[in-house]
Amino acid sequence: MKEIKAVLKDSEIPKQWYNISVDLPTPLNPPLHPGTGEPLTPDLLEPIFPMSLIEQEVSSERFIDIPEEVLEKLLIWRPTPLVRAYRLEKALNTPAKIYYKNEGVSPPGSHKPNTAVAQAYYNKKAGVKRITTETGAGQWGSALSFACSLFGLECKVYMVKISYDQKPYRRLMMNTWGAECVPSPSNDTEAGRKILKEFPDSPGSLGIAISEAVEDAVSRDDTKYSLGSVLNHVLLHQTIVGQEAMKQMELFGDYPDIIIGCAGGGSNFAGLAFPFARDKINGKDIKIIACEPTSCPTMTKGPFVYDFGDTAQLTPLLPMHSLGHDFVPPPIHAGGLRYHGMAPLISQLIIDGIIEPRAIPQLESFEAGIMWARTEGSIPAPETNHAIAAVIQEAKKAAEEKKEKVILINWSGHGIIDMAAYDAFFSGKLTDYALPEEQIKEALAKIDALPKPKMGK
């Protein structure tokens, strides 16, 4: 009987996060004030985030200690298993070795609580009583609700109305963890009321929900706002994934030639990839692939620019690959990958040639996910299917080239509350959404006038 998993004990959980910003070949361009266009000073973020998180956002420490109280909560599901996908390898008849880091074992079912728990902790420590956030498909909202329940914090989630109506299970998970979840636009904020007055039937959008959550946070002394991806401190908290994976690959006596993850805002991808990317920056030969949908090709077709994080232009300007803050992606089923921008850290590493983006068509992603379920057993989230499709591409290439490549993928979450997506696939209702170049052009036109970041090497 072969061992297929590398398991770490509780005591072996990594005790520090890895901050890649100090090792970047080109330093990050600073975020800019949305009004003045000047570099943002940390104090301007204080009404929104606790100071400890703002400090992490700009930290120049390579390793940052994970507080004891955060580790305690992470132990609920971490360290997560690293598993060799023998059955998939066999089905593909490939000499490649495929390993996956299973982040689907957390209570909300994805990697998201890695940062939710840390953010809830720092807010609690800063005396915050209540956290607001927005959520689209609901993964992030449920992860933050879970984390807040562990620290006894109130949590209010503004959920894009169309998802609120279509995905009742996610909302009910939030309720079960004690959070309040309202459809956005809501009557609870100025921003929401304004939209509702003009468009009573508005299906909502992430942009609107962000506006509501931020307005709520800044209007109350006891409340801060929390974001589930894109920002440096969020990616930082996810690096525990890659640090664990490094120890576990050692237990297998292997080191990856190829690292693969899906990227919407970029946090699960960064979490696995950054600790290995450090080795690549220091000279190691690794291919690091970030997968996005062809229908929302932020990294493969979006330029590296300064752009807003939201449609309403409320956030700071961030240096990132972007399709323009007005870009509305087609209604694909991987909701977590429908974002116009990409984390600045990942964007910069693409520019510097450390990370390689790849676009995956929707139908190929579902075919890959179903092959995974029928060989490795677990049903992947629609987002994760994009990474699996790239794994299959690389494993087939290894077979053609007769090379024993070692592939490592972040299996970012399970899909068992996304079965409607599989239903759409089985019943032939899904397409690849050929994206008109016009649509991208139009959205990009909106960011022409914004400041330009330095490109780096």
Q: Which of 20, 48, 54, 71: binder of a copy of itself (CB under 8 A)?
A: 71
Residue 425 contacts residue 306 (beta carbons within 8 Å):
no
| Residues between 424 and 453 with contacts to a copy of itself, criterion CB under 8 A | 426
How much is the CA Rg of the chain, to the nearest whole Å? 21
Report if residue 103 touches a copy of itself, rule: CB under 8 A: no
Taking a C-beta distance cutoff of 8 angstroms, is the pair 187, 196 a contact? yes
Q: Which is nearer to a copy of itself, 109 or 264 (CB)?
A: 109
Q: Kindly give, in sequence order, each residue whose CB lies less than 8 Å from that of residue 190, ignoring residues fewer than 6 positions away.
A: 215
Q: Which of 139, 119, 92 is nearest to 397 (CA)?
A: 92
* Contacts with a copy of itself, 137-176, as mask; x by CB under 8 A: ---------x--xx-----------------xx--xx-xx
Sorted by sequence, the CB contacts under 8 Å of residue 209 that are 6+ apart come out as 134, 135, 136, 158, 159, 160, 184
User: Cα(first)–Cα(last) distance of the chain, in Å?
Assistant: 49
Query: How near is the Cβ of 137 to a copy of itself at its closest, in Å?
Result: 14
Q: Is 196 in the site for a copy of itself (CB under 8 A)?
A: no
Cα 93 from chain centroid?
31
Residue showing tokens 């690292």 = 259
Shortest gap between Cβ of 44 and a copy of itself (angstroms)?
Answer: 35
Between 177 and 306, CB nearer to a copy of itself: 177
Query: Which C-beta is closer to a copy of itself: that of 370 or that of 440?
Result: 370
**Residue 57 corresponds to which tokens in the numbers above?**
């956002």
| Residues of span 373-412 touching a copy of itself by CB under 8 A | 373-374, 376-379
For residue 4, the minimal CB distance to a copy of itself (Å) is: 5
Nearest approach, Cβ of 13 to a copy of itself (angstroms)? 8
Q: Among residues 63 and 252, whose Cβ is nearest to a copy of itself?
A: 252
Nearer to a copy of itself, 60 or 427 (CB): 427
Pick from 30, 47, 95, 178 the residue near a copy of itself by CB under 8 A.
Answer: 178
Site of tokens 């292997």: 254
The single-letter code of the amino acid at 110 is S
User: 197 exposed, middle or buried (CB, 10 Å; 0-12, 13-18, 19+)?
Assistant: exposed
Place of tokens 């959070």: 179
Instruction: Mark the segment that binds a copy of itself (CB under 8 A) among 3-11, 157-165, 270-278, 285-293.
Output: 3-11
Per CB under 8 A, the segment of 156-164, 295-303, 413-421, 441-449 that binds a copy of itself is 413-421
State the Cα–Cα distance between residues 14 and 237, nearest whole angstrom: 11
Among 22, 44, 51, 76, binds a copy of itself (CB under 8 A): 76
Rounded to whole angstroms, the Cα distance separating 100 from 451 reads: 40
Q: Report the C-alpha gap between 312 and 305 in whole angstroms.
A: 17
| 9 forms part of the interface with a copy of itself (CB under 8 A) | yes
Is 306:203 a contact under the CB 8 Å cutoff?
no
Residue 199 or 426: the one with the smaller Cβ distance to a copy of itself is 426
- Residue 182 or 230: the one with the smaller Cβ distance to a copy of itself is 182
Binding site for a copy of itself (CB under 8 A): 1-5, 7-11, 68, 71-72, 75-77, 83, 87, 105, 107, 109, 146, 149-150, 168-169, 172-173, 175-178, 370, 373-374, 376-379, 416-417, 419-420, 422-423, 426
